[in-house]
């Protein structure tokens, strides 16, 4: 394999931790921000003929454009191979049009095609919202964080756990956890309210009751309202009193941290795919915080090492 150069985009701290686990120095990457808000990047060393690896999220318009600038600069500088490790893919929940809205944009397709247009050769993505997203790339490798959560959960010794998916779309995830832990699973059912047209929780399917710990699993923790609704219906209809929430991407919009800390959940277990400022982090894991943050840098480093070993698949990291 050609010489590998590692660049840290955003979150910068994650890239630094990945480099530490790989025991290599980060290659300099200069990001300049102009008064009007535009940004430009410059690669700090020659990348000609090298395998260039960027650890960078495409979440948010600025970060997405920055990722395209990285691809374009590396391509024009004659990089041998360009790899993007994306801890949290931007616009991934827009991978298809909504029912009855055929003229909506499919923004995940824009992300995928734009990255490849500017030279992306290999794409690693942590817990994509939908596996259909992978078909938008010529060479995409999903990295499922479930194994990290399973390892954590086995150390806790919770009695009589049952895996719960808050919606039908999360059933494959729930089944995987159920198989790995050797426990039952349940599903929260929703239906569209004829009055306002919104999906609302109304029932529970599966064997779960007061003696069980409900382990609610999801990929993105945004406002937290869907998971709190799931807790309410489990409590009202099945008498469940103990709850654990597991979600890979802690997006935590608005006052989600406060809302979840005040909920009946005992623990909210997430990863550090999304960086939070110190004041929000203190609310998550400081006094009164219920969050547990599982680091992913070493796991990402192992995936990057797989690039250097012919024939080794990154999929075994998620098995």
Please check whether residues 185 and 289 belong to one and the same domain.
yes
Q: What is the pLDDT of residue 168?
A: 87
> CA 277, CA 61: separation in Å to the nearest integer?
19
| Annotated active-site residue in 81, 190, 283, 290 | 190
Please check whether residues 150 and 139 belong to one and the same domain.
no
Please check whether residues 233 and 156 belong to one and the same domain.
yes
Please check whether residues 307 and 273 belong to one and the same domain.
no
Domain count, the chain: 2
Q: What is the pLDDT of residue 318?
A: 58
Q: 201-220: b or e for each residue (b if 16 or more CB lie within 10 Å)?
A: beebebebeeebbbbbbbbb
Three-state helix/strand/coil letters over 200-266: EEEEEECCCCCCCEEEEEEEEECCCHHHHHHHHHHHHHHCCCEEEEEEEEECCCCCHHHHHHCCCEE
190 noted as active-site residue: yes
Q: What is the pLDDT of residue 312?
A: 54
Please check whether residues 289 and 154 belong to one and the same domain.
yes
Q: What is the pLDDT of residue 316?
A: 55
Please check whether residues 155 and 117 belong to one and the same domain.
no
Please check whether residues 185 and 256 belong to one and the same domain.
yes
Neighbours of 277 (CB within 10 A): 7
Q: What is the pLDDT of residue 249?
A: 97
Regions of the chain where pLDDT drops below 50: none
Please check whether residues 126 and 261 belong to one and the same domain.
no
Please check whether residues 68 and 185 belong to one and the same domain.
no
Please check whether residues 129 and 166 belong to one and the same domain.
no
> CA 215, CA 233: separation in Å to the nearest integer?
14
Instruction: Say which CATH number the domain at 116 has.
Output: 3.40.50.2020
> CA 32, CA 37: separation in Å to the nearest integer?
10
Please check whether residues 150 and 288 belong to one and the same domain.
yes
For residue 82, what are the β-bridge partners? 52
Give the residue among 8, 2, 1 at the shortest CA–CA distance from 28: 8
What are the pLDDT digits (tens) for 233-258?
999 999 999 999 999 999 999 999 99
Please check whether residues 126 and 255 belong to one and the same domain.
no
- Residue 303's domain comprises 4-143+298-317
């Amino acid at each position: 394999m050609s010489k590998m150069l590692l660049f840290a985009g955003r979150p910068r701290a994650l890239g630094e931790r990945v480099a530490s686990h790989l025991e290599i120095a980060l290659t300099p990457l200069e990001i300049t921000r102009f008064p009007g808000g535009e940004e430009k990047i410059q690669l700090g060393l020659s990348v000609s003929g090298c395998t260039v690896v960027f650890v960078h999220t495409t979440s948010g318009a600025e970060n997405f454009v920055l990722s395209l600038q990285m691809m374009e600069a590396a391509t024009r500088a004659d990089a041998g191979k360009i790899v993007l490790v994306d801890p949290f893919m931007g616009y991934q929940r827009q991978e298809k049009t909504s029912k009855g809205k055929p003229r909506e944009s499919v923004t995940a397709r824009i992300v995928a095609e734009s990255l490849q247009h500017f030279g992306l050769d290999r794409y690693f993505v942590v817990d994509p919202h939908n596996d259909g997203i992978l078909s938008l790339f010529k060479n995409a490798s999903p990295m499922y964080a479930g194994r990290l959560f399973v390892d954590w959960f086995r150390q806790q010794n919770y009695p009589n756990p049952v895996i719960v998916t808050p919606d039908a779309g999360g059933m494959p995830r729930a089944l995987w956890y159920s198989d790995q832990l050797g426990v039952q699973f349940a599903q929260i059912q929703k239906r569209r309210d004829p009055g306002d047209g919104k999906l609302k929780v109304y029932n529970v399917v599966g064997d779960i009751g007061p003696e069980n710990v409900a382990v609610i699993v999801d990929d993105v923790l945004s406002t937290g309202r869907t998971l709190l609704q799931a807790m309410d219906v489990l409590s009202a209809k099945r008498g469940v009193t103990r709850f654990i929430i597991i979600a890979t991407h802690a997006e935590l919009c608005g006052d989600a941290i406060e809302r979840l800390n005040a909920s009946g959940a005992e623990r909210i277990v997430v990863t550090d795919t999304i960086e939070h400022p110190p004041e929000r982090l203190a609310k998550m894991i400081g006094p009164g915080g219920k969050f547990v943050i599982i680091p992913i840098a070493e796991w990402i480093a192992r995936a990057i090492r797989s690039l250097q070993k012919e024939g080794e698949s990154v999929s075994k990291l998620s098995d």
